Amino acid sequence: QVVTEMISRDRNHPSVLMWSLANEPESGDPEAKGYFSALADFTRLLAAGRPITYVISATYDSDQ
């Protein structure tokens, strides 16, 4: 619902270059990959043609 509202509200704003889906989530959990993959697919359905990003907090030795 949050992603749908964000895209509906901001899709035509001239300063929106891409959609950001998260900021430093707990992405090290095994379930995170499926969750973020589904969220990205859903976002692409709503707003095709615009890049998608999310920020993770990881170091070179813990990044998966």
Sign of CA dihedral 2, 62, 58, 20: negative
Catalytic residue among 5, 24, 26, 31: 24
Catalytic, 5? Answer no
44-53 burial, b at 16+ Cβ within 10 Å, e below that, comes to eeebeeeeee
Q: Would you please indicate which residues are annotated as catalytic (active-site) residues?
A: 24
